[in-house]
Amino acid sequence: MSAFVVAYFPHLCLAFGGLLVLCLSMARSVPAGFYPATAALFAALPGLWAVAGPQGGSPIACFYAGLLSVIALATIALLARYAERRGFAGDALYGLLLWSALGMLLLADADDWIMLAVGLELASLCLYALIAARLDDNLGTEAALKYFLPGAMALAVLLFGMALIYAASGSMEIAASLAAPGPLTAAGLALVLVGVGFKLSLAPVHLWTPDVYQGAPAPVAAFLSSGSKAAAAAALLHVCSEVSPEARELLWPALAVGAGLTMAVGNLGAVAQASVKRLLAYSSIAQMGYILMAAMAVNDGGGEAALFYLAAFALMDLAAFGAVGALSAQIGDRDDIAAYRGLGYVHPWRAGVLAIGLASLAGLPPTAGFVGKFLVFGAALSAGYVGLAAFGIITAVVGVFYALRLLAALYMRESLIAHPAAVYAAGPAGTLALGVMAAGLVGLGLFPQTLLGAIAALFGGA
């Protein structure tokens, strides 16, 4: 097997798997369960490749291939019964999901600007369609449009920034081009960070997030939040690690303001929400503020903290949005916080997964979110961002408030009759995925050293 095939095995698996799922629709009498089973098989291959640690694959590429494989597998498991019972399961759903994962993987391990732009757009185009997958749902169509229009503008800004960097450096490689000092490079980099910041929902380019998350089917919102954010954060970490000292002096004060604003807007915005999906959307905005803070300290130990937090964040949002889908009936998703009252007694298993996801998002021990926040704030303090870290800790306390608000609703008895608790079965795969997510959040909270050791090995540590 050639070195090229070995190095790009995950990308080839996702591309071929998406094509195969779409081609299956041309065959007659394909059982409905064959699409998610085939998609799951090809989604698992990048993870197996990462575990094998092949020659020719960089450690960072292995990390993101493994992470995106877990995210895609969990999404397929959560989506299979959900989409079947709501009448929008089919080849396009799973084919687009695999191709979107391919775009995310290209974005995460891109070494040049062209590949970064291709990966970003491939992932985004498939997500637009996935958000509107439920054709009889006007809210989903509206959400896809609200994501597409500003997304196209953000892509234009990103491409213009890349053009400025290329004009200043004459290179399309990210590391070589950012090493060239000068105001043109700094201006281009600022525009690139705006484009990537849109995908990460960084304030003030975050306004699309609550509407899109609310309109998307819950498992698709989980995929959008975990996979898309992880890939965009990977690109942000890569860019920030290659920035020249001159550009850093110009741009880092603006990034510090952006990180503080994102943490404040996300956590304060979530407090006022009566919709669970909008609450989770604002929470995800706040989490990206923590990631941006770690990215600013990427060369001072923030990289390891950011990678751990990305893995924890993926588990948190998959668990939270997955539980929302599993606690919903046929028409739409259970979205009003009042409609969650008492579900902890009627559906203790699904409500328990949601509770663990919320506790982790709030940073409560013993969960992965607590360890992740501890690492991120520690990295920021070590890099000298004392004021920003202190502000982040204050906003994190606000995050505890709205998480406890929803947790309290789950375990209230008195309003259960007013909000019928009938839900659809999540199916064996969905139930297994929810269990793995919950166990992962608690496991990483109790034994973080397993993942931290693997991440340290990526950076040449122990």
Domains: count for the chain: 1
Residue bearing the bigger pLDDT, 16 or 6? 16
pLDDT at position 359 is: 96
What's the one-letter identity of residue 320?
A: A
pLDDT tens readout for residues 296-346: 998 887 889 999 999 999 999 999 999 999 999 767 789 999 899 888 988
* 290/106 Cα distance (integer angstroms): 24
* 250/58 Cα distance (integer angstroms): 31
Find out whether 250 and 193 touch, Cβ atoms under 8 Å. Answer: no
The DSSP symbol for 227 reads: I
pLDDT tens readout for residues 412-432: 866 566 566 677 778 899 999
Q: Which helix (H) or strand (E) holds 401?
A: helix 386-410
The residue written with tokens 């941006």 in the block is: 292
Q: Residue 36 pLDDT > 50, yes or no?
A: yes
Q: Residue 461 pLDDT > 60, yes or no?
A: no
pLDDT tens readout for residues 48-93: 999 887 776 678 889 999 999 999 999 999 999 999 988 888 889 9
Cα-Cα-Cα-Cα torsion 152, 221, 101, 86, nearest 10 degrees, comes to: -110
Q: Residue 38 pLDDT > 90, yes or no?
A: yes
The residue written with tokens 């439920």 in the block is: 134
* 398/392 Cα distance (integer angstroms): 10
In which band, very low, low, confident or very high, does the pLDDT at 462 lie, cut at 50, 70 and 90?
Answer: very low
Longest dimension (CA), the chain: 67
pLDDT tens readout for residues 227-272: 999 999 999 999 999 998 888 888 899 999 999 999 999 999 999 9
pLDDT tens readout for residues 176-226: 999 888 889 999 999 999 999 999 999 999 999 999 999 999 999 999 999
* 6/54 Cα distance (integer angstroms): 7
Find out whether 155 and 124 touch, Cβ atoms under 8 Å. Answer: yes
pLDDT tens readout for residues 340-393: 988 898 899 999 999 999 999 999 999 999 999 999 999 999 999 999 999 999
pLDDT at position 424 is: 77
For the residues 426-444, what does the mean pLDDT come to?
Answer: 94
Q: Which whole-number Å values give the CA distances from 447 to 298, 361, 367, 379, 407, in the listed order?
A: 24, 18, 10, 20, 25
Q: Is 112 helix (H, G, I), strand (E, B) or coil?
A: strand
- CA-nearest of 208, 228, 206 to 75 is 228
Tell me phi and psi for residue 112, to 5 degrees.
-130, 165
Query: Domain range spanning residue 343?
Result: 3-459
Find out whether 227 and 72 touch, Cβ atoms under 8 Å. Answer: yes
Percent of the chain with pLDDT over 90: 76
**Verdict on whether the full-model pTM lies above 0.75:** yes
* 355/403 Cα distance (integer angstroms): 9
pLDDT at position 419 is: 64
For the residues 155-168, what does the mean pLDDT come to?
Answer: 96
The residue written with tokens 């690492």 in the block is: 375
pLDDT at position 76 is: 97
In which band, very low, low, confident or very high, does the pLDDT at 459 lie, cut at 50, 70 and 90?
Answer: low
The token pair that represents 132 in the structure block: 């509107």
